[in-house]
Structure 1
Amino acid sequence: MLNSDDDVVLSHDPTPGVRVLRLNRPAVLNALNLALRQRLAEAFAAADTDPAVRVVVLAGGERAFCAGADLNEYVDASPTDIIGREMDRLWGAISACRKPVIAAVRGHALGGGCELAMHADLILASDQASFGQPEVLLGLMPGGGATQRLTRAVGKFQAMRLLLTGARLTAPEALALGLVSEVHPDAEVEDRALSMAAALAKGPQLAQQFIKEAVLQSMATTLEVGLQMERKSFQLLFATKDKTTGIRARLGKVPPAFD
């Protein structure tokens, strides 16, 4: 039995400051139908505006993080049908999240699933995970950002190879190309994501937000403009209590206690 639309994304807060959003369509390997996309956008928007949430962990299941788009919704779709789905708005709710996002990837992350993982700031992969953009094998191309994000992650020539052939990457291959941040044994990857999230949740929130903004800006502007943004953000942080807390803790050789 498939899940109802109400529970296709499960949300819980396992430790202070950490919210886990879990894709929950296991019968179809967490394939992205419109209901799942909408719930995911809503969940990210809610996490972004919730002051109790400082880090988001995005997870799937043991067999699949997300195996891509639900093709049952695509097979007879017309261009106007696809336009009406407002995919830019739904993907945008994820990319607009100001808080650190960690993707914990087990199993397949293919097509839209790989694109979903690339919306995160850190990708922690199981050693059994696989990544790829196989849309070309269906007579299509990526529509969730892979031609842009994958190219920025691994460079033009590797991106072209993956996008034009639909080839899959193992987790170690993805790590070697720079597509993922870390690789861990399958049974440990989610625990590692949670421990990293808990550590980040204790960090200086505004500094983390400014770092994220600056890094993302670097992919959309010139070096000069990016450096200007970095300098201004750096300067603004000198108005924060976190700056004083962090420096005094370092000088006193004690752990900082950020707000």
Structure 2
Amino acid sequence: MNPTIRRASALASALAITASVTACSRSESPATPDGQTVATSSTGTTPAPTTDTQPPKPAEIFDRAKSNALAATSAVVTGEFDRDGATTKISWQGAADGKTLDLRLTQHGLGNVHLIAVGGDVYLQADATGWKALGFAKLVQAAGDKFVKAPAASVGDLAQSFSLRSLVEKSFGSLDASGLNGRVGSETVDGVDCWVLTGPSGAQNGALYVAKDSMQLVRIVGPKEKPLQLTFSQWGEELDIKAPPPDEVVGLK
């Protein structure tokens, strides 16, 4: 793996969100019977309109959301999570194979990093703090606010680290549908009516929000002790990801 991409991968630990969502499957208390609906609450959500429709089983919602996410050709992910006591903000959009993507990360002490992969090329941009965090302080003067073009060989490594499939697999990887609360919640997230899955102790230890109509993942919220909120959208839509203009790019030496 190219050193620049390796360091970017280490810094972009947004893919390490598994630890923040495993609480959804903890077993702190006995689960309630399947098929019951309960109102839940979290930041940015409102109770969904009450209907007589019985929710699917929690395991069915979980499995369908995971299958749909893995089958999607593209998506957009935005949000923030706690990493070593600092809040990291992420904006990610890209394709399932990771060969086309646009990733932005911001964290106090690590600066701003912007990574684009498109057309077989990889471009990396950072502020002075970001370059130093990546271990390339000398590039601060050489690149300034321009993008650095990495070798084409980096695309394969990048695809493995930042693909949509990798993100989804890490999101769902350590969750066990059998450990979910049997009571399915119902809320509206950004105008989308969602089923809400939690662990036995409720949303305080994390939750998954899944769209009722499409069974697509809408949001992941982590436990209070390790804050995280990631919102997923534009599943399968065509994304407008372009290479930066030539006059904003410098070669990597």
Q: TM-score range by the shorter chain?
A: under 0.3
- By percentage of residues, which structure has more strand? 2
Higher relative contact order (CA 8 A, sep 6+): 2
TM-score, normalization by structure 2: 0.20
**TM-score, structure 1 normalization:** 0.19
